[in-house]
Homo-oligomer: A and B are copies of this chain.
Amino acid sequence: MLELLDQLKADIINGCLERGRPLRQQELSERYNVSRIPIRDAISVLRNQGWLVAHGKAGVMVPELNWMEAEDLYQMRSLLECQLLEYAFPNITYETLGKARDINRSLNGSDLSLLERGRLNWKLHATLYEVANRPTIFNVVAILNEQVGRYMGFQYGPLQYREISQNEHEELLDLLTQEQPEQAIRLLRQHIEVAGQQLVEYLKATS
A interface residue numbers (CB < 8 A to B): 37, 40-41, 44-45, 48-50, 68-69, 72-73, 75-76, 79-80, 83, 134-137, 139-140, 143-144
Contacts and interface: CB of A to CB of B under 8 A. Distances in A.
A185 to B, nearest CB: 15
Nearest to A70: B136
A45 B79 CA distance: 27
7 contacts: A37-B37, A40-B41, A41-B44, A68-B134, A73-B136, A75-B83, A76-B80
Contact of A144 (B37, B75, B140): B140
Tallying the copies of this chain within the complex gives 2
Nearest to A41: B44
B69 A135 contact: yes
| Dominant SS among interface residues on chain A | helix
A189 to B, nearest CB: 14
Contacts of A72: 134-137
Nearest to A45: B44
A100 to B, nearest CB: 23
Contacts of A140: 76, 140, 143-144
Contacts of A139: 50
A57 to B, nearest CB: 14
A136 B48 contact: no
A137 B44 contact: no
A72 B49 CA distance: 20
